Chain A
């Protein structure tokens, strides 16, 4: 199945992409995609968990299981206001 991963701000700059379509196995969790990012990007590696995770524009726990067509967003620490 396929999911879409969105990255913003500092995460987008580190990874060098704001959006990726990824082919994943059934049962994959958001945190599994995060761990793939940690493995390939030393500046993400220290973060055992993403600061925020959203699936289809709702904040969720990173252990959330993804489904075909889901849009998963990894959100750096927010600093609005």
Chain B
């Protein structure tokens, strides 16, 4: 599967990809563009990515989290390009026979994506645009 998309994320497709008849729990997480960051107003975020490396890292995360939670089925997609307030940048779906694994796997995926996947955001507000995370802009 591919972990990146340039289009709005199809949440139902992710659910359909993971949910089995044996599952009693489905955890869904969405990262959403919010209207502020570090005290500044945000209107939109542009997400840029190094695609081959990001796909590779996300596949590694999927495999390692699946190995850590063998009863869970996991699917996730990150969206790229220009997103406005309220739009989902990432959606993660984890299904499991019981809720504990579904919640834990879902949490693990988002924490790891934020740490290592080469995706960058440039926030746009009334005062201009800025890459997030670089000291001494």
Contact = CB atoms under 8 A, between A and B. Distances in A.
Interface residues of B, number: 30
A33 interface: no
Interface of B: 31, 47-50, 52-54, 56, 78, 89-90, 110, 113-122, 131-137
A59 B115 CA distance: 12
A43 B47 CA distance: 22
B136 to A, nearest CB: 6
B135 A46 contact: yes
Interface in A1-53: 6, 8-10, 13, 43, 46-47, 52
Q: How large is the interface on A (under 10, 10 to 19, 20 to 34, 35 or more residues)?
A: 20 to 34
Interface of A: 6, 8-10, 13, 43, 46-47, 52, 54, 57, 59, 73, 75-81
A81 B114 contact: yes
Given A8-B48, A8-B50, A9-B131, A80 B56 contact: no
B120 A10 contact: yes
B136 A79 contact: no
Given A79-B119, A80-B121, 20 more contacts: A8-B118, A10-B133, A10-B134, A43-B134, A43-B136, A43-B137, A52-B116, A76-B131, A77-B120, A77-B132, A78-B115, A78-B119, A78-B120, A79-B114, A79-B121, A80-B90, A80-B113, A80-B118, A80-B120, A81-B90
